[in-house]
Amino acid sequence: MGKLLAKVLPFVIVILVNGCAVQPNALFPPQEDEEKKIIFLVNHGWHAGIVVKRSDIMHSDWPKPDVFADMDYVEIGWGDRAYYTSPDPGSGLAAKALLLPTSSVVHLVGFRGQPENYFPYSEIVKLQLSVPGFEKMIRCISKSFSRDKSGSAVALGHGNYGTSQFYASEETYHLFKTCNTWTETILQSAGCPVNSSITVNGLMSQVRRFGEVIQVKSEPR
């Protein structure tokens, strides 16, 4: 996966940079005297997960949040359906995901306790959002889910770890719409000043500038 990205990166970096300047907005940063919502960005090495408090999710905008009713937090990820859901994806699925438009999934993980305890070896950045920015972000995530005739998100089965679930997504995965560019789009909807980058390092380097690093990456003991 890493070698493949290294080969294609020079051909797309100009496209990703040009025209991607973040415009000023009224959503971010939140004012000192206004209510704030806290989210976290977890660096998993190839992609980053967005972590929100379960109690902060608006029920009208979220697909069945009661699935994680006993959890303190929910982590959200997005990616290529075949690659993300495979127990052993390999380079073949990685190449297909990057070079061909493919279907995608949303991955939700519920957990109790603080993010740094659940992800003890991952880099974690804490972000403060305005309430309007947070609500817009949640609605943006909600639009990624495919829904049945009743309006419920289409569940595909158990996720990759812990109390988790895969859901079908409306969006298409391809070279210019990867898990990291999806996450950047979600953060942009909240007003965060991030530009497009196909790598998690590019994403995290931007987020560190306006967020608080509460945990650095470490090796398991």
Q: What is the pLDDT along the chain (221 residues), one digit of tens a residue?
A: 444 444 444 444 433 443 344 455 789 888 888 999 999 999 998 889 999 999 998 766 676 656 788 899 999 999 888 877 765 554 444 444 454 568 899 999 999 999 999 999 999 999 999 999 999 999 999 999 998 888 888 999 898 899 999 999 989 888 778 889 999 999 999 999 998 887 899 999 999 999 999 999 988 76
Q: Per the domain annotation, does 37 fall within a domain?
A: yes
Cβ-Cβ contacts under 8 Å for 80 (sequence gap 6 or more): 93, 96, 97, 102, 103, 104, 105, 173, 179
**Surface-to-core class of residue 142, CB atoms within 10 Å of its CB (0-12 exposed, 13-18 middle, 19+ buried):** middle
Write the pLDDT tens digit of every residue in 209-218: 999 999 999 8
Q: Per the domain annotation, does 110 fall within a domain?
A: yes
Domain carrying residue 22: 2-215
Q: Per the domain annotation, does 221 fall within a domain?
A: no
Rounded to an integer, what distance in angstroms lies between the CA atom of residue 48 and that of residue 52?
Answer: 13
Tally the domains of the chain.
Answer: 1
Q: Per the domain annotation, does 170 fall within a domain?
A: yes
Give the global pTM: 0.83
Residue 129 and residue 37 in contact, taking contact as beta carbons nearer than 8 Å: yes
Q: Per the domain annotation, does 194 fall within a domain?
A: yes
Rounded to an integer, what distance in angstroms lies between the CA atom of residue 160 and that of residue 44?
Answer: 13
Q: Per the domain annotation, does 181 fall within a domain?
A: yes
Q: Per the domain annotation, does 138 fall within a domain?
A: yes
What integer pLDDT is reported at residue 40 of this predicted model? 98
Helices (H), the chain: 2-17, 81-85, 90-99, 115-118, 131-142, 179-189, 200-210
Q: Per the domain annotation, does 220 fall within a domain?
A: no
What integer pLDDT is reported at residue 201 of this predicted model? 93
Write the pLDDT tens digit of every residue in 59-112: 666 766 567 888 999 999 998 888 777 655 544 444 444 545 688 999 999 999
Q: What's the chain's length in residues?
A: 221
Nearest to 166 by CA among 105, 110, 77, 214: 105
